Every structure is written in structure tokens, then in C-alpha cells.
């Protein structure tokens, strides 16, 4: 079961320095992640409240299935299954061969820290910076307290939802969340 929250931040540098000062240790160095969501043409996976994602990093690919969100007043909670694959291109080809289609792409730079039983991810996306806190509810609350984060700032929504809100505020069309230099305007 995945338990997490996101917290928007003005910049990751100050949070990174605070986490290191508190003794959080780097789990994964800053790296680029390209994420593609897959579904059948009729969108049956998404319509059921689930998600199928291929995440490609410099270390390889990760196939993730996320089940329906479980109601929780504070945290985003949902079943999650993941497995690694050495070749992201082959993984995408297999999914497309069985009728799945890419429908949304989002990119980010991520750096991960471990501390007090939880995972702190520093995510830099084209539309803003976020912390993602993962672990048990107690571990997330401990991480938040240590970093002096207000639980009222916790966000349970996806990056796609947050980006949609961002686009509406700017009056621009919603699309993939990609860095301009990546050249990946479509999945």
C-alpha cells in the first residue's frame, strides 16, 4: 500500500539543506524521470480509478500499477505494485502490442532522501517544485514536523490534477507535463 502526500515548495534547495541538516541521508541522487501513463482506447483503467505507468530513469524502467484510492482524510492511500525492467523501450512495445496506448506523459527531476522511516522526494517539474513524503502516516507526520511543514499544506492530488489547475489559472491548454528542451510534446 502506498501512503503519501505532496507539498508545494518555493524551491527544493532550502528543503534539501534542511533535510541534510536533520540527518536525512540521500537514497537516490538527482535524476531525470520520464513517466508515461497507459490505458486501453476506451480508458477502462483510468475510468476504474486505477493507473498503469511506465517510468524511465537512467537506471532502467519501472512498471507501476496503482489501484483505486482508499479514503483517508489526510493522506493519499492506494494499492501499488511495481516491477523493474532493464529496457523501457521493450516494455512500452509489449504494452502497446497488447492494445494499451500511451495517453499522458510527465517529466520531472527527482532526488530522494530517507529518514525516520519515511521517504522524502524532492520533485522538480516544469510548473513547480514539490516534496513528496512517503511512508506510514506516523513517518510522514514525523518528516513534516522535522521539516517544519504545516499539515494544512498537504496535497493528495496527482501531478496531472495540479498541472490542470495551473493551466486553468494561466488560461493555457492542458497537455503533457514536459520540459521544453526534452522535445516530448506527445507521449
Residue 58 lies in a domain: yes
Q: Is residue 148 part of a domain?
A: yes
Residue-level pLDDT at 181 = 79
| pLDDT over 80 at 171, yes or no | yes
Predicted local distance difference test score (pLDDT) of residue 184: 54
Parallel, antiparallel, or unpaired for β 2-9 and 25-39?
unpaired
Q: What are phi and psi of 135, to 5 degrees?
A: 145, -160
- Domain annotation covers residue 147: yes
Nearest to 68 by CA among 52, 83, 42, 48: 48
Number of domains making up the chain: 1
Q: What is the CATH number of the domain that holds 81?
A: 2.40.320.10
pLDDT of 116 reads 73
pTM (2 d.p.): 0.91
- In the chain, DSSP assigns E strands to 2-9, 25-39, 51-57, 60-66, 76-78, 80-85, 101-115, 118-125, 128-134
The stretch 49-75 carries a mean pLDDT of 96
Specify if 7 maps to a domain: yes
Residue 183 pLDDT class (50, 70, 90 cuts): low
pLDDT of residue 19: 87
Q: Is residue 187 part of a domain?
A: no
How much is the average pLDDT of 47-76? 96
Q: Which domain does 48 fall in, by range?
A: 2-178
Question: What's the whole-number mean pLDDT along residues 143-154?
Answer: 90
Whether residue 184 lies inside any domain: the answer is no
Kindly state whether residue 183 falls inside one of the protein's structural domains.
no
In a domain, 155, yes or no: yes
pLDDT tens digits, residue range 123-138? 999 999 999 999 999 9
Q: Under DSSP, is residue 82 helix (H, G, I), strand (E, B) or coil?
A: strand
Amino acid at each position: 500500500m502506498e501512503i503519501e502526500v505532496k507539498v508545494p515548495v518555493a524551491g527544493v534547495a532550502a528543503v534539501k539543506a534542511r533535510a541534510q541538516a536533520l540527518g536525512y541521508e540521500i537514497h537516490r541522487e538527482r535524476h531525470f524521470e520520464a513517466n508515461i501513463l497507459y490505458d486501453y482506447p476506451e480508458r477502462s483503467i483510468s475510468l476504474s480509478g486505477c493507473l498503469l505507468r511506465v517510468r524511465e530513469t537512467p537506471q532502467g524502467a519501472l512498471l507501476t500499477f496503482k489501484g483505486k484510492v482508499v479514503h483517508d482524510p489526510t493522506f493519499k492511500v492506494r494499492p501499488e505494485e511495481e516491477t523493474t525492467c532493464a529496457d523501457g523501450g521493450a516494455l512500452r512495445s509489449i504494452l502497446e502490442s497488447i492494445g494499451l496506448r500511451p495517453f499522458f506523459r510527465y517529466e520531472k527531476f527527482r532526488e530522494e532522501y530517507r529518514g525516520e522511516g519515511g521517504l522524502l522526494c524532492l520533485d522538480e517539474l516544469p510548473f513547480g517544485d514539490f516534496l513528496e513524503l512517503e511512508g506510514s502516516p506516523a513517518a510522514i507526520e514525523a518528516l513534516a514536523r522535522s521539516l517544519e511543514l504545516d499539515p494544512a499544506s498537504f496535497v493528495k492530488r496527482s501531478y496531472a490534477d495540479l498541472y490542470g489547475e495551473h493551466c486553468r489559472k494561466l488560461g493555457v491548454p492542458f497537455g503533457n507535463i514536459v520540459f521544453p528542451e526534452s522535445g516530448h510534446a506527445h507521449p
